[in-house]
Amino acid sequence: ATRLKKDTDPQIRKEAAEALGEIPSETTYNILNEAYRHDKDPQVRLTAYQSMRKIQKVMTEELVKDRDNKGIDSRYILVGILILMAILTTLIFILPLIRKRGETG
Q: Is the CB of residue 90 less than 8 Å from the CB of residue 36?
A: no
pLDDT averaged per 10 residues, the chain (length 105): 91 96 91 94 96 90 68 73 88 82 70
CA torsion sign, 28 to 29 to 33 to 36? Answer: positive
Output the pLDDT for position 2: 86
Domain boundaries, the chain: 2-104
Residues 6+ apart with CB under 8 A from 58: 24
- Residue 4 to residue 74: CA distance in whole angstroms: 32
Q: Would you call 29 exposed, middle or buried from its count of C-beta atoms within 10 A (0-12, 13-18, 19+)?
A: buried
Output the pLDDT for position 102: 74
